[in-house]
Structures are given as C-alpha cells and as structure tokens.
A and B are shown apart, each in its own frame.
Chain A
Amino acid sequence: MQKESHTNLVKMVNQIAGNVFFKDNHDEAIDKVATHMRKFWAPSMRDELFEYEARDGHGLSDIAREAVRKLRRDS
C-alpha cells in the first residue's frame, strides 16, 4: 500500500530530533532540528510538513513538532 506523502518526512524529522536531543538541551535541540531542515531539505518537503503539522501532526515527537513550528515561524 502506498504510504501517505508525509509519512517519510515525519519519520525523518523524528529521527533528526532523536539524534540531537539530549537530557538537558531542549531549546538547543529544537534549533538544531530546524536548522537541519532549513539547510538540507528542499522547500517542498518543509512545506508539506508545515501543512501536516498544522492539520494533524500525529506521530511527530515533541522536539520535532516544535522545530517544525519554529521553522515555519522563521520562514
């Protein structure tokens, strides 16, 4: 069955968050995830995630969700 287009993006951003978040660096981790998406992701991927987060956002980790919001605010 074909996955929905945001499925991989959610997995990717959660993975980034999981790899940059430590015990006590909540804000820094959000910055890092947002920066990573800005630096390496095509705008179409970011836009799709913005839209998904605003619509539903199910499956996004806390850090990932906040990073998506931050990136949308800063864009």
Chain B
Amino acid sequence: MLGIYKPGTDYGTPERVSDKQVSLIIDDTEVSVPEGTSVMRAAEIAGISVPRLCATDSLEPFGSCRLCAVEIEGRRGTPASCTTPAEDGMRVTTQNGKLAKLRRNIMELYISDHPLDCLTCPSNGNCELQDMAGAVGLREVRYGFDGENHLAAEKDSSNPYFTFDPSKCIVCSRCVRACEEVQGTFALTIEGRGFGSKVSAGVSGENFLESDCVSCGACVQACPTATLIENEVIKHGQPDRAVVTTCAYCGVGCSFRAELKGDTVVRMVPDKNGQANHGHSCVKGRFAFGYATHPDRVTEPMIRDSIHEPWKRVSWDEAFSFAAARLKEIQAKYGRNSIGGITSSRCTNEETYLVQKMIRAAFGNNNTDTCARVCHSPTGYGLKTTLGESAGTQTFDSVFKADTILVIGANPTDAHPVFGSALRRRLRQGAKLIVADPRSIDLLNTPHLGEHYHLQLRPGSNVALINSLAHAVLSEGLEDQDFIGKRTENYQQWREFILDPVNSPEQLEAVTGVSADLVRRAARAYAGVPNGAIYYGLGVTEHSQGSTTVMGIANLALATGNIGREGVGVNPLRGQNNVQGSCDMGSFPHELPGYQHVADDSVRSAFEKVWKVKLDHEPGLRIPNMFDAAVHGEFRGLYVQGEDIAHSDPNTQHVQAALGAMECLIVQDIFLNETAKFAHVFLPGTTFLEKDGTFTNAERRINRVRKAIAPLPGLQDWEVTQRLSSALGYEMNYRHPSEIMDEIAALTPTFSNVSYELLEEKGSIQWPCNEAHPAGSPIMHVDDFPIGKAHFALTPFVPTEERANRRFPLLLTTGRILSQYNVGAQTRRTANQVWHDEDVLEIHPHDAEERGIKDGDWLGISSRAGDTVLRARVAERMQPGVVYTTFHHPFSGANVVTTDNSDWATNCPEYKVTAVQVQKVTSLSDWQRDHHVFSQRQQAFLDAAMGDEPVARR
C-alpha cells in the first residue's frame, strides 16, 4: 500500500461567521450552518463530499468547473454548490443519475486535454483531477486525444523551487485567485479567451522568475494537479509522513507541516490550522529550508587554544571539559563578572531559558543578554513604561477589524510577509493606510489600495512626527476622553507637554520634512475612525530615541482609546522567530523570566528556591557594555548561542576588537559563522527541524516546535547547554523540553498555566496564560493594565548626535529584503540567492546624478565608524539625501559603517541613522580586504580539521 500523506479535510469554500444559523437537508441528512455558508461546505460538514475542481476552502468560490453541480428542490437547473449559499429549509441532492452523468461529461472534457501520464506524474496519488476522475466514475473519453490540445505546452522551470507545467493545467484559476486573495500580489493572470485561456505569470512572455511573483507558494498549494509543483516533490516523490511545527524565520511564527519521505524533508506546507498564518507562507518558510542539510553544517564539537590555530574535532565530553575549564580559569583570574553569555532569538524558549539560567546560576552573574538588544529592546522598555507589559497587544487577525492602519518604520511585505498579505487583504477591503517611512515601501503599491498617506519623514525624526500627530489629535479634539479618564494616568501633564507649540505639526515640519497639512490629515484618518491600529518595526526601535518613539506610539493609542479590543492596539513586528520569547525568558541582564527585576527580593527568592543557588541582585552587562569591557580588558569569556554578533552588531571593527580580546569564546551554531571565526570552542547546534520546544511569535503566541528529523550533531541545543552547565558544576537534568516549560510556568506569572499538554490541546496559546486567563489572552489590556492605569509618558524630541554634515552629507538607513533573513546564515545557503546574492546601496537618482553614479557602479561608503564598498542601485523609492542597504551578506560590511550610537534607555543600536559619504571607487575597502584574508584563513583551519570528510553528515 502506498503511504501517501493526506492533509485534513478541504471544505471547498471558506468558513463564514454569522450569529444566525440556517438548517437544510442534504441527501436526507439535516445540517445546521452559519448563514452565508455555501451548500458545498454545508455538505462537507454533514460528511458528504461534493466533487469539485475549482473550489478549495482557502479561496472564495468561483463556480467555473461546474463539477459541484447539485439539485435543489424548487429550483431550476443544477446550481454550483460552491457559489450557492445554504438557506433555511433547503433540500439538496448531491448524487443522482442526472448529476453523475453531468459530472462524467465535464470530466471527460477535462481529461481529453490532459496528458495521461499518471504513473510518471509527480502528483500521482495526490492529484485532485485523478481523484475526481475516480469519484465521478470516468471510464472513457469519447472525444479521443487527437483534437486541438495543450499537451505540447512548454514547462517553465525558471523558479528555483517549483515548476509550471501548463500541459497539465485545467485553467481552474485557483493559482490566480490564490495569488490575489491569499498573497495579494496579483502576479498571475488568465491570458487569452476560451480554449486559448492559459495561466500567465505577469505580462505575456515573462516567466515566473521575471514576473512579480514573490514565490510564496500559495499558487503551488492551490493547484489541484501537477501544473504547479515543488521541484523537491518532482525529485523525491510524494511525502509519506508529516510533522506539524513552527517556522524558524520571522516573528509571524507560521505553522507548517514538515512533509517527509523517510528522513528527508520533501516540502514545508503551511498548515491551514496554523493560528498565526491560516495556511499561508512566504518564500523563506515555504521553500528555504535546504540550509538544514547544507554541506556547510558543522556537526561535531571543535576546540582550539587560539584563533590563530586550526580547529581540532573532539568528543562532546572533551569540548565541555575544555570550555568549562577555560571559563573557570578566567573567573579565577579576572573575577566572577568577567564572563557572560548571549541567548538567541532564533532558539526555542526552553533553550533560551536554560542559557540565562546557566549564566545566572553557573556563571554566578547576570551578564546575560540577547540579540533583542539590537532590535526590540526599546519595545520592552517603552511598552512596559506606558502599558505595563513588554509585548504587543493584539492578534494578527485583529487587523481585519482595523479601519485605519498606521505602519511606522516597518516593511511587512518584506520582513513579515504573511502578515503583510493579511494587511493587504484588509486594505483591499477598504481600510485606510498611513505609512511613516523614509522610503516608499511596497505596501504603498498594494493593488486596489484606497485612501492612504505616506509620511516620508527624515531618518531620525520619529519622535518629532509622533509628537506632531499627537498634537494634531489633541488640538483638533479627537481624543477619547472617556477612555483617558477611566484607564490612564498622567494625562494632564502629557497634554500640556504635547500641546506646547514646539510639538505642533507646523513647528515640526522643518524637522520631519512632512508637511503639517499631511500630518493633520493622517492624524484625522487615525483618530477619526472607530478602530485605529498601529504596527511598527525596527524603523522605530533602532534609533537613539527608539524607546521614546515606542512610548509616543503607546501615548497616541491611549489618547484615542485604541487599546483593549480587536482592530486596534500597539503591535511591534518582531524581526526574528523568537524575539518575543527570548525577551520573555529572562535574557536581559536586569530581568529574570517574565520581566521580573533581579533586584526584587521576593522574585529572586522564588528562583533561588527552585534553582537551589544564590542569585546576584544587581543587573549584568548588556551586549555593547560587554564589548566595551572586553576592549578594556575586564571581560574575557563569552558563550554565544545561535547569534552572529560579528556580523549583525554595529561598528564591526569594535565588535571584532572585543571578540579578538576574548580568552574563551564559545559559539554554539549550525555553521561556522562570522563570530565563530573568533571562537575557541565550537558546539554544533541544531535547526528547528531537529528539536522539540516552543517559539513565541509577535502576537505572544506560544507555538510548538516538533522534531521532524534526528539532530545531526546528536544533541539538541537544550541538551548542549545542560551538559555545559553540568561541566561547570551546576547540574541540570531535564529529560525533555516539556520539563523546562513546566519550570518556566512555575516561576513566570504570565506563563503559569502553560504546559505542553495545553499546547497540544489548543494548538497554541497567547500569554498571559494563568489563573486570570486560563486559556490565554488574544487581546491584552481589555479591562485593565498590569500597572493598573496606563501611563502617559512625556516624549521630548532630542535629535540624534549623528547628523549629516559637509564631510558625511547623506544619511544611511539599513534594513531587510524579502528573500534573505537577518545575517543570511540560513537563506544564503538556499536558492534564495537567486533574488539577492549581494547587498547593494540604494541611492536616489538626484544624489546619484550629482556623483555621476549609475546602476552597478562600485561605491565607497564612508562614515565616522568605517568604510565599505557596495554596488549601486539607483532607486526612486529613496528620498534625496537618504541611502539604504541591507546586511544579509558578511562581505558587504554594512555594519562596518554603522556607529555605536544607541537608544538612550536600552543601548539598542542606531542602525537607521548613519551619516555617510558615497563616491565611486575601483577597489575594495581595507576592511573588506582584511576580512577576506581572515575568513580564508579561518576556513582553512576548519578544512584542516575536517580533512576530506563532508561536513554535514546524516
């Protein structure tokens, strides 16, 4: 028997929500459904499957194939069950001789123009056309196969992940509709008419790769035949088992079915039961998983005495002994606080919890920090100060009730693509859009976008803009007095501050570059609707006033009463998969899990009791403080799990100096990354496919990560930390991550009801999940705030010290693109390289012309921190005076240029504002040349250790 894996029931048409139920009888079975439900869906709910080809429950009904025809008592003809709404008292017949004949005739026509190569077709055994031919009892094709047909149509293999074979296409339009309705890109269309109709990517003559297609995979998933199919399925055949898990890319936290054949992951299919993504995906999560088995994987522990020596492969025991001895020596020599560690937003909650626990309990200090330091630490500070909790307030689905959506410093269609698609869907439904961004982001190009405003502010002027928006709201009487009176404090002081003329749009337009009139119209658009929602990203946090902007955003939401229900709220879009979780798990040096301050005696006492160790009551060093202390000789040992600080952190040369000063750098990662080139101990890590645990996404949703394949190094990451801790003399003996979660729940008030059992039962849980909220909290602050009343914080605009001048006349801002992820360690080792194989510098045509720059020219970019060289891309989406690049490739050295300026409250680096000069050059920068030599040498040290063996072994 063939073990073809079949996903769950397809109800044919989407779910409808209604207060009113209607009852009908289908083939003698009575069924009650919400009003608006299709007859097809009602039948499926009743256990009666109506044949269909163009219908699937992720798409609105289309009614083109006619295979789902039914008879309805009292109605003429045979209506399509997919487009016919169920009505009270309706009597439906789905099966009789007449319908059977009609369906056979339809199938006969389809099959007469379809290659009969089922046995060699990649969809064999998992093809809806094949299933329907069987379901309708097709036994002959009377038309023959010699007539006009599409059987010779050429395949399009341009996309690296899937193939389009038009000879198998039945023109059901499911792919076209998926591209429109689910993804919102509108890249596909049906070209031609009648028999000549065919699916086309973009304008005639373009292939998939050349078109606007963003490779989200929605079309592939929607295709009922093998017309659009994953290349991996063509290569390996149909999967035979599946494991439901959570994507390890961005903070949307999509649920996927990892579909496998034996131990080979054949494909990742977005899970339609996923509560964050509802069956949608992006190019990264859907296709870019090949890095997990890339030959660059290092799967054995390695040690060396000096970074100028080759690596030596050793056993796990030897690696742990070596690392522990080194760390102890350093502490004996330089003191207890001379070592620390960094947790990862890419790792699970359980792994992160263990790392900070090991640092606090085994290292004996609070020198723990996380990569959230360099992205969303201002969110933690700003939201805790104003709303009382360091987290976003909504579910992603909340956007479907928003009337105006304000997006500040975020680029969701690139960085959070699945949420970007949801947002676009809401915009197509008529929601208003306000974008505050120095660049013209793709969201502004949303097809069928209605009323919208682009506040194209100058980099570094976020606080001025937020204050001027708040001034407009108050000065025009748009505030929600009732909400303010009942649920907030410090309003009068804030009101006086904001209404000071220095905060008026008219005064601040010289600072922001946004006209006062536009600011006032945007303020009315946000405050003048029932539901205004704010979404923000690193364009808010990565500034010298990142925390102030976060507080300003919260103030704006509070003043307009846009907190505490669906459709509103303050929504930080988290960059990496587990930024929220890594912060929740006590990674910051001043907070134990659950954002509980280390100076709180009762909190510390609870942890000391369970951990059986005395804890330090003083905050530890943050990442930039660790670097400073290392450079000055006071900090000598660092354990880094799943982060590449040598690549991601600003002022690379300073970071390299700090890492170079370490006497013991332990890196736990899946690849020998840039940081590992400075390491003395390499502990091989595991990908999300190889371990159990949980991730928490940007909507506070805790999702299970489930092991799909055995860990390549033999140990999962939590086991590695546990054994290192034991080697240091602090024993840990967890048998499964569920036991770690039980401990987290026991010590973290917002997690007290969370357990793996509850996660299995509910699929996912949004914290707080405790006695007050036993099933979790989709929307926060519904009745009250953790601090009682929300606090209006004063937010004076203090310009950054980083300003353009004659020497550095342009402002550089950095960000991300769709196909690559963070430092690119994962995506650079996939076919996503097709779309972005190097970082480029985007520059406005005016600035380019002034410097004689053309597309593709080599440009030297200089700042007061350093120099690098990138190719030019002249781009209209930039504003004059502002240039932009990404940091996905280490060689580009984007962070050689960024400075060590940082947020006043949290030290989050100011990646978004660097004064630079740009000019044409003919050779690489000194740093790039040195880096190339250093990297080649380190690679040789790795190669020497590995000999001829392939590195990634299965």
Contact among B597, B619, B900 for A42, CB-based, below 8 A: B619
B655 to chain A, nearest CB (A): 14
A 29-73 to B, binary, CB cutoff 8 A, 1 in contact else 0: 000000010011111110000000000000000000000000000
In the complex with contacts A2-B631, A19-B548, A41-B619 CB distance below 8 A: yes
In the complex with contacts A5-B628, A42-B625, A44-B629, A16-B905 CB distance below 8 A: yes
Point out the residues of chain B lying under 8 angstroms from A15, CB to CB: 544, 798, 904
Point out the residues of chain B lying under 8 angstroms from A8, CB to CB: 624, 628, 900
B376 to chain A, nearest CB (A): 16
CB nearest to A42 among chain B residues: B621
Is there contact, CB below 8 Å, between A22 and B794? yes
Point out the residues of chain A lying under 8 angstroms from B904, CB to CB: 12, 15-16, 18-19
CB nearest to B597 among chain A residues: A39
Q: With an 8 A cutoff between CB atoms, is B932 at the interface?
A: no
Main secondary structure of the interface of B (DSSP, over half): loop
Is there contact, CB below 8 Å, between B590 and A44? no
| CA gap between A43 and B366 in the complex, in Å | 11
| CA gap between A16 and B632 in the complex, in Å | 23
Point out the residues of chain A lying under 8 angstroms from B618, CB to CB: 42-43
Q: With an 8 A cutoff between CB atoms, is B715 at the interface?
A: no
- Segment 348-378 of B: residues with Cβ below 8 Å from A: 366-367
Interface size on B, residues (CB 8 A): 32
| CA gap between A15 and B901 in the complex, in Å | 10
CB nearest to A38 among chain B residues: B599
Point out the residues of chain B lying under 8 angstroms from A43, CB to CB: 618
Point out the residues of chain A lying under 8 angstroms from B620, CB to CB: 42
Is there contact, CB below 8 Å, between B632 and A5? yes
| CA gap between A19 and B590 in the complex, in Å | 21
Point out the residues of chain B lying under 8 angstroms from A16, CB to CB: 904-905
| CA gap between A51 and B631 in the complex, in Å | 19
CB nearest to A41 among chain B residues: B619
Contact among B589, B631, B632, B798 for A18, CB-based, below 8 A: B798
Q: With an 8 A cutoff between CB atoms, is B545 at the interface?
A: yes
Q: With an 8 A cutoff between CB atoms, is B824 at the interface?
A: no
Contact among B619, B621, B622, B796 for A19, CB-based, below 8 A: B796
B 891-919 to A, binary, CB cutoff 8 A, 1 in contact else 0: 00000000010101111000000000000
Contact among B366, B367, B599, B634 for A39, CB-based, below 8 A: B599
- Segment 602-631 of B: residues with Cβ below 8 Å from A: 618-622, 624-625, 628-629, 631
CB nearest to A2 among chain B residues: B631
Q: With an 8 A cutoff between CB atoms, is B337 at the interface?
A: yes
Is there contact, CB below 8 Å, between A40 and B590? yes
A23 to chain B, nearest CB (A): 9
Point out the residues of chain A lying under 8 angstroms from B621, CB to CB: 42, 44-45
| CA gap between A12 and B622 in the complex, in Å | 13
Is there contact, CB below 8 Å, between B629 and A12? no
| CA gap between A42 and B621 in the complex, in Å | 5
B864 to chain A, nearest CB (A): 13
| CA gap between A16 and B903 in the complex, in Å | 9
- Segment 529-552 of B: residues with Cβ below 8 Å from A: 544-545, 548
Point out the residues of chain A lying under 8 angstroms from B628, CB to CB: 5, 8
| CA gap between A12 and B544 in the complex, in Å | 10
Point out the residues of chain A lying under 8 angstroms from B599, CB to CB: 39
Is there contact, CB below 8 Å, between B589 and A42? yes
Name 10 interchain pairs, CB-CB below 8 A, sorted by A: A12-B907, A15-B904, A18-B798, A19-B548, A22-B497, A40-B619, A42-B366, A43-B618, A44-B621, A45-B621
B residues at A contact (CB < 8 Å): 337, 366-367, 497, 544-545, 548, 589-590, 597, 599, 618-622, 624-625, 628-629, 631-632, 634, 794, 796, 798, 900, 902, 904-907
Can you add 6 more A-B contacts, CB < 8 Å, to A12-B904, A15-B904, A40-B906? A8-B628, A12-B902, A19-B796, A22-B796, A36-B905, A42-B620
Of all A-B residue pairs in the complex, the 7 with the closest CB atoms, nearest first, are A15-B904, A5-B632, A19-B904, A42-B621, A43-B618, A18-B798, A16-B904
